[in-house]
Structure 1
């Protein structure tokens, strides 16, 4: 890194809290170095209270852009000039592109999730998905899955500040896509098990399982899983969550969120540079292996 930092090096950020666990800086900087781009990517601990000032700083410092993660994805749009159609539909942003002071918000999470499934030979098109979560990443996954051709999506969430967002997501899916969506209370574990039993894939797209909720699971016990069910835990730190461990015990094919992180990062990389990320090289660097 030190050898390639110059007076011309442009900065790209990652604004989230907590964020020190993230693999994105290593991934993006390796990709920039591999392709010879004069960018440096750094993580900044930014929450909702400091987000507006951080975006002002991005603009003032003429940074090329930034990724955005929890808890900022669903609020950062207030400080941007424009949203991509997908970001507007999802109501969330995970990538900012700065074009000479004009800040555009994009969402690449859903694209990254679907690409990671395809890369692992998992075909969800025409099948049913049950998913937990209604935040920025979850919404992006739900919208993109519906647009790509998943036939049915059962969404589970607690009655928190994201519940109304989930209601809106279900309405958008049912009116703007050919997918059928429904929303259920995550506290209703009997209904969760019923929907999982009839699904091809189950996805945890909440923060449960990662710090500070490490060691916890949205699924109470392994009786909720069956060997034929594909199980994806979007958190990837730690790599082996409690939920994923339970699913493995039953014999499920499982994934963590590293593949999604790689492919959503690749989409962001292309927005900043105009070139695709060297995927196979990055899989080696990040030691991404499917089980």
Structure 2
């Protein structure tokens, strides 16, 4: 990748200076990147996370990219995206990041789909090592109310998940053992959601305001949210920009700025917005569909 980059038309002397200025061990002094995949995916799928890891490594030679594997194998990792308690997943990741000497000086984080809200939980709960920028690519920060096209697995599994969510998303059994139930947000039953949502209601300060969550999230330099304008997987798609249905119905939508969370600034998002720390990006494709040119133009600047 380095050979490719040096083929740019740079004057030989400048090129020599640039090469000499590069720190030792092939590192370019860039912050490491931690990535968390979405539902039905795994850390190392060569067509998804593996390809993105490779692309980032080509664009930023010497960068350390850690694509999180939840479990001991790729198969386990994929299953855990459906069935492992999210709070357990988050604490496992926090331990892994704290043990990694390469992350000591801080890191950037990029979450894809549900990995977006999981990495936000890491930012809020685990300030050490420090997360610098959080990039949420199609993450559902106010949860979902529907799974119109659940990706990555057979339609039979999706159908089974849908039935569980519709019949009892907030029963203890379903909450504990079905990942998607833990960010299921029923606007017709807000009280039920607030009381029984094991994960999302907690990180969104629905029950009480945890001051450390607020302080830790505000320590981010940038919180970047990517919304896919043709998204056929996330319902409502507004959740990708931290918006949601107005309470009590499932037709009209509120933006983040119209929500109680923002107006009461329960999570520090209003303060972050005023400080220019929130970045709202749109991509014209379906869920997680973007090309390299779009990625390089829109997301790469936050990783350099």
Same fold (TM > 0.5): no
For the aligned pair, the TM-score class normalised by the smaller chain equals 0.3 to 0.5
User: Counting helix residues as a fraction of each chain, which structure ranks higher?
Assistant: 2
TM-score w.r.t. the length of structure 1 is: 0.36
Structure possessing the higher relative contact order (Cα contacts under 8 Å, 6 or more residues apart): 2
TM-score w.r.t. the length of structure 2 is: 0.35
Structure number with greater Rg is 2
User: Counting strand residues as a fraction of each chain, which structure ranks higher?
Assistant: 1
